């Protein structure tokens, strides 16, 4: 058994006091801010209540995109910024981001010219960082790219390009990048309160969820980047603070690759509720989504509504032949969007109208809250937040280096899909015991990946491994459930846990995996 790496992290918690920057939250925005701060040379600590990308950041549509629908809404500046960030991320993490062609099917005579003009503007806004030029397709060319398109009435389509990625693997890559630059990160460590001095926030109290031990950490700047949970931290600062978020949930279903066997995705530009719907090839499966349903409050494991599943399958069925049914769904997952209310809002209105852009608010006590935005713009969100935090804390002024920063594992090698996400770490993972032993016949993952996750990627639970270090729960929730005992046994060996811990882990994970199955 190896030494538990968490011990080293816990020892480092108090070694740098006070920290220059404390980031609360280990999703896209928190990891982006942490990498930004560490690469500027600030002593940075990141703490996460559960696991990195546990919430929204592992439940996206798996697209690095400029936001075609925001273009339709006339939000040109948001699209331009996202397209620039898309291009930078493609350069900085080629092992995680790839170019993907999208076919917009045209069943009306006007659809080709209408959407074609909009997508030409998309190309123009991307400038030198464009991934590929959009073009009109005739009927045969559209079917060659997406053979399962509904043929009846099909006139052709428009082809455009966006990026595709693995969201949770990008989160783990950012964690490793942060550590490469001297950052210290701790997951399963919820913040229980903020520390104040003369009315200013100067740190936080946190609890190690594994031992129950309390820790106090002090920092010159504190960034609240807890996604849909930012209001809970803001109330630790000021109990009277009104909510700034109005969360909305997006549901996705995952089906087998046979429903989209070509090398392109499908984008349906206008559904019954005015959204776009995507069908995207991903890890030899197909992700179809999403919805936009207001929810009264944020929860850690949001549940899909029956009508959301029905809406996705019904809409996909109009455009895909064969049409996927409930029986074909391998997994269903739900993400919450941290949509920001207008500061004067009365809370009414549709979530489709709320801000998709990121927002930074600074409280009287100096707490910096970063929320909103999306994965594509994570780097820019982090840059903006650290700029503000550094000014408030009077840290030495340092320019950003992240626009050209190669992320951990950077590699352009063409490995098989499931190994590619590790980049230059892939040979090291494959050198571990169990590299050729599958976790389950219906999953691409191996025993070696569990060991790597425990030793190098801070995986502490069976869920950490099967949900986010691998993507097993999304590719096939039932198979992941069956793999849980094997994963628990390997983790127990790596982390020095007993049989009782293993049994509890398997029970907890299998209960969770039920929610991902229809």
d(CA 72, CA 240): 38
d(CA 355, CA 77): 13
Strand partners, 160: 102
506 pLDDT more than 60: yes
Q: What are phi and psi of 171, to 5 degrees?
A: -60, -45
Region 505-513 average pLDDT = 98
- In this predicted structure, what is the pLDDT of residue 109? 86
d(CA 160, CA 132): 7
Distance of CA 183 to the CA centre of its chain: 20
Range with the poorest average pLDDT among 61-75, 147-161, 164-178, 227-241 = 61-75
On the CB side of 151, CA atoms within 13 Å amount to 7
Contact 477, 516 (CB under 8 A): yes
- In this predicted structure, what is the pLDDT of residue 349? 41
Q: Is 219 strand, coil or helix?
A: strand
Q: Return the residue matching tokens 């803001």.
A: 234
How many Å is the maximal CA-CA distance in the chain?
Answer: 70
Its pTM stands at: 0.96
Contact 165, 62 (CB under 8 A): yes
d(CA 163, CA 83): 10
25 pLDDT more than 90: yes
10 Å Cβ neighbour count for 244?
20
- In this predicted structure, what is the pLDDT of residue 15? 78
Contact 58, 468 (CB under 8 A): yes
- In this predicted structure, what is the pLDDT of residue 115? 86
Distance of CA 379 to the CA centre of its chain: 13
d(CA 19, CA 418): 37
Closest CA to 21 of 44, 5, 38: 44
Positive or negative, the CA dihedral 61, 90, 83, 81 is positive
Region 256-277 average pLDDT = 89
d(CA 1, CA 92): 35
Pairing of strands 214-224, 19-24: parallel
Using one digit for the tens of pLDDT, what is the confidence trace for 331-356?
A: 999 999 998 887 643 333 444 445 56
Closest CA to 332 of 355, 304, 359: 304
Using one digit for the tens of pLDDT, what is the confidence trace for 284-307?
A: 999 999 999 999 999 999 999 999
d(CA 438, CA 427): 17
- In this predicted structure, what is the pLDDT of residue 354? 52
d(CA 465, CA 458): 10
Q: Return the residue matching tokens 């560490």.
A: 38
Rg value, the chain, Cα: 22
Q: What are phi and psi of 200, to 5 degrees?
A: -105, 140
488 pLDDT more than 70: yes
Contact 484, 300 (CB under 8 A): no
On the CB side of 381, CA atoms within 13 Å amount to 31
Give 411's contacts (C-beta < 8 A, 6+ positions apart).
94, 95, 423, 424, 426
10 Å Cβ neighbour count for 4?
17
Report the share of the chain in percent with pLDDT over 90.
82
81 pLDDT more than 70: yes
Cis, peptide link before residue 236, omega less than 30° from 0: no
Strand partners, 245: 340
What angle in degrees, to the nearest 10, is found between the helix axes of 111-126 and 76-92?
A: 60
Q: Is 458 strand, coil or helix?
A: coil
What secondary structure letter does DSSP report for 44? E
What secondary structure letter does DSSP report for 92? H
- In this predicted structure, what is the pLDDT of residue 351? 45
d(CA 389, CA 453): 32
User: What does the H/E/C string look like for 16-41?
Assistant: CCCEEEEEECCCHHHHHHHHHHHHCC
Instruction: List, in order of start, the domains of the chain with CATH numbers.
Output: 5-56+169-244+340-404 (3.50.50.60), 97-163+246-337 (3.30.9.10), 417-515 (1.10.8.870)
d(CA 465, CA 147): 35
Region 425-452 average pLDDT = 98
């Amino acid at each position: 058994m190896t030494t538990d790496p968490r011990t080293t992290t816990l020892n480092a918690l108090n070694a740098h006091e006070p920290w220059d920057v404390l980031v609360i939250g280990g999703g896209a925005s928190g990891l982006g801010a942490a990498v930004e701060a560490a690469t500027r040379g600030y002593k940075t600590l990141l703490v996460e209540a559960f696991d990195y990308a546990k919430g929204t950041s592992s439940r996206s549509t798996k697209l690095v995109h400029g936001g075609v629908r925001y273009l339709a809404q006339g939000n040109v500046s948001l699209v331009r910024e996202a397209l620039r960030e898309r291009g930078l991320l493609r350069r900085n993490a080629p092992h995680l981001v790839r170019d993907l062609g999208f076919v917009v099917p045209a069943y009306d005579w006007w659809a080709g010219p209408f959407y074609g003009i909009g997508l030409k503007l998309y190309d123009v806004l991307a400038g030198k960082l464009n991934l590929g030029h959009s073009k009109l397709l005739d009927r045969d060319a559209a079917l060659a790219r997406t053979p399962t398109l509904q043929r009846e009435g099909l006139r052709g389509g428009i082809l455009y390009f966006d990026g595709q990625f693995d969201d949770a693997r990008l989160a783990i890559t950012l964690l490793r990048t942060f550590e490469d630059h001297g950052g210290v990160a701790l997951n399963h460590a919820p913040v229980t309160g903020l520390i104040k001095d003369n009315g200013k926030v100067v740190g936080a109290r946190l609890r190690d969820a594994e031992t129950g031990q309390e820790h106090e950490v002090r920092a010159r700047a504190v960034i609240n980047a807890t996604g849909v949970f930012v209001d809970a931290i803001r109330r630790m600062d000021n109990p009277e603070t009104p909510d700034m978020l109005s969360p909305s949930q997006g549901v996705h279903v995952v089906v087998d690759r046979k429903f989209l066997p070509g090398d392109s995705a499908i984008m349906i530009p206008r559904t019954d509720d005015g959204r776009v719907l995507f069908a995207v090839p991903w890890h030899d499966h197909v992700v179809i989504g999403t919805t936009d349903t207001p929810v009264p409050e944020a929860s850690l494991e949001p549940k899909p509504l029956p009508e959301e599943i029905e809406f996705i399958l019904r809409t996909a069925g109009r455009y895909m032949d064969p049409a996927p049914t409930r029986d074909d769904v391998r997994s269903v997952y739900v993400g919450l969007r941290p949509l920001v209310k207008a500061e004067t809002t009365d809370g009414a209105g549709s979530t489709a109208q709320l801000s998709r852009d990121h927002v930074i608010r600074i409280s009287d006590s100096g707490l910096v809250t970063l929320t909103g935005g999306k994965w594509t713009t994570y780097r820019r969100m982090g840059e903006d937040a650290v700029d503000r935090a550094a000014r408030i804390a009077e840290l030495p002024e340092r320019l950003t280096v992240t626009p050209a920063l190669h992320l951990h594992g950077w590699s352009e090698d063409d490995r098989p899909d499931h190994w590619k996400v590790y980049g230059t770490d892939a040979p090291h993972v494959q050198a571990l015991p169990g590299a050729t032993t599958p976790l389950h016949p219906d999953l691409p993952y191996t025993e070696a990946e569990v060991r790597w996750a425990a030793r190098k990627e801070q995986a502490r639970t069976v869920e950490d491994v099967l949900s986010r270090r691998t993507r097993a729960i999304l590719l096939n929730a039932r198979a992941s459930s069956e793999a849980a005992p094997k994963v628990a046994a390997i983790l127990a060996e790596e982390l020095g846990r007993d049989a009782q811990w293993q049994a509890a882990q398997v029970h907890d994970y299998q209960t969770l995996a039920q929610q991902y199955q229809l």
